Amino acid sequence: MPKSLFAQNANERINAMYPQGGPGRYLKNRLKNGDLLIGATLTEYARPSLIKIYQQAGFDFVYIEYEHAYFDMTRFSDTVLSARDNGLPVIAKTPDLERQEVAKLLESGVVGIQLPRTEHKHQVEELLSYIKYPPSGTRAAASGYGNSDYLKPTHRSQWLKDQNDETTLVVHIETNLGCENAEEIINVPGVDMVYIGLGDLSIEMGYPDDKNHPAIVEMMSHLLNLCKKKNIPMGTTSSDTTQARFWIERGVKFFEGPHEMEFIKESSSNFVESYRRIED
């Protein structure tokens, strides 16, 4: 097959999967349309087979917990590419606010960078610089990797613009200081999504894991109102469907769900328990 024809067919396949132009724009457009998005978390077993299972289950995106977990980076990259090929945009935490770490995530094909412990406006501005090409930022141009599905762009200037539209900045508020500075953080131009880490926030506020405590609910409601004023989707992780329903009815637009080990543990426990009940 001629090289040009191969590239054309590959682009047609990608465009058919992401009619808005790419996984990042697909993710942001769905949020803009008011869709509720549910993400599956990946925290240890980076395998394309797991992506297939998540896709078949009906998840909308994949969230990679790269702050607390270790990954073989070859498998990490393979898994990100598999997610892109299966219509699942990938959001990943960056373990550090550092140019090289962010660049490697983006070049692997990750479209959303989530910054843990976002506490200051300047952190958001620094991350924005790392994920956007000039003139919007200082990201170094590197095409032909996972970020372009291993295709070399024929119109480089347009590709750089498209990539700026692709990348998604997710602030992660999970501390008292982050809550205090939330308004100026959320008001930074370029923030696409706001995630509230209720686990760590509940600990910081003095109510460990009591995510339904009135003080926690009040703070969440305050943060949600700030996001609504800026028309920025807010998300979280819920303890159960009752809590999820409570926040969905109030306007929360995305959830980062359990990780693969929790799914395995729950399913395994249910299986064993079902047989023990037969024995009893």
Q: Please name each of the domains of the chain with its CATH number.
A: 3-279 (3.20.20.60)
Confidence of residue 247 (pLDDT cuts 50, 70, 90): very high
**Residue that wins the pLDDT comparison between 273 and 70:** 273
Sole residue written with tokens 């992401």: 18
Q: Has residue 1 got a pLDDT over 50? A: no
- Contact status, residue 168 vs residue 6, Cβ threshold 8 Å: no
3-state secondary structure of 238: coil
- Range of weakest confidence among 13-17, 72-76, 102-106, 179-183: 13-17
- Name the average pLDDT for the chain: 92
pLDDT in tens, 80-95: 999 999 999 999 999 9
Secondary structure in 3-state letters for 43-97: CCCCCHHHHHHHHHHCCCEEEECCCCCCCCHHHHHHHHHHHHHCCCCEEEECCCC
Whose CA is closest to 260, among 52, 71, 80, 50? 50
Decide: 113 and 167 in contact? Cβ < 8 Å: yes
- For the chain, what is the radius of gyration of the CA atoms? 19
**Could you tell me the pTM of the whole model?**
0.91
Residues in CB range of 72: below 8 A, 6 or more apart? 46
pLDDT in tens, 110-167: 999 999 999 999 999 999 999 999 999 999 988 889 898 888 888 889 999 999 999 9
Lowest mean pLDDT among 19-28, 99-108, 200-209, 261-270: 19-28
